[in-house]
Amino acid sequence: MNYREVNLDGVYDCLASILEDARQAEEMRELERKVIFMLDSERLALSNIKPRLRMIVLYYFANLYNYLVVGTGNRSELEVGYFTKYGDGGVDILPLGGLVKTQVWELARYLGIPENIINKPPSAGLWSGQTDEGELGFTYRQLDEFILTGTGDPGIVEEVRRRRAASSHKMKAPCIPDMNITAAGK
C-alpha cells in the first residue's frame, strides 16, 4: 500500500494563531465574558480543525489521482455523532460504517491484526491524553450493547439518545429552504 505522511502541525499552529487574533477582538472578548463554557468549546473548536485539515489533504490527493477517500468511521461513532463534520466524517465511502466498534475489533482479530493495535485505546488524537471513551463518558462495549439490543444502563441510554439528537445534523445533507418562488407571482 502506498502512503504519504504529511505533517500539518505548522499549518494548524498558523491557523490557530490567526483565529486567536480574531477572537481577541474586543467585541469577541465581551461575548466570551458572558459565556461560561467558552474554554471547553474553544478547545473542541480548535481540535476539530485537525481532522478538517487532514480531510483537505486527503481530498487533495484523491483529486490529484482520481481516488476516493475511504473513512474509518463505524456504526458506534455514527450513532452518537462522534466524528467531525467535514473532517473525518467527510468521506466517499465508509466500509466499516455498518459495524459497531466491538464487531470491528472482532474483524481485526479475524484478519490477524496484532493485539497491541486492537487493544490500543481508541483516540481521535485531538489533544494529549484524549481517548474516545474518556470523551464519550462510556465504553464502546456499553454503547454497542445499547445499539444492538436497545438495553443498557439507563444513564448511558439517556446520554446516547441525547447525543443522537444533538448530532443528527451531521447525518443529513445541508438544509435547502424551499423559497417557493414562482415566475410573475403565479
pLDDT above 90 (res 29): no
CA 145 to chain centre: 21
> Which pLDDT band, with edges at 50, 70 and 90, does 27 fall under?
low
Alpha helices (H) in the chain, listed in sequence order: 9-23, 26-34, 38-65, 75-79, 101-110, 115-118, 132-136, 140-149, 154-167
**Helix/strand/coil for 24:** coil
Q: What cell does 60 get? A: 487533495
Q: Let me know the angle formed at the C-alpha of 79 by 84 and 164, rounded to the nearest 5 degrees.
A: 85
Domain boundaries, the chain: 1-67, 73-186
Which of 99, 46, 44, 45 is closest to 71 using CA atoms?
99
Among 63-67, 79-83, 127-131, 150-154, the range scoring the smallest mean pLDDT is 127-131
pLDDT above 70 (res 143): yes
* Range 73-186: architecture per CATH: 3-Layer(aba) Sandwich (3.40)
> Which pLDDT band, with edges at 50, 70 and 90, does 99 fall under?
very high
Which of 101, 12, 109 is closest to 54 using CA atoms?
12
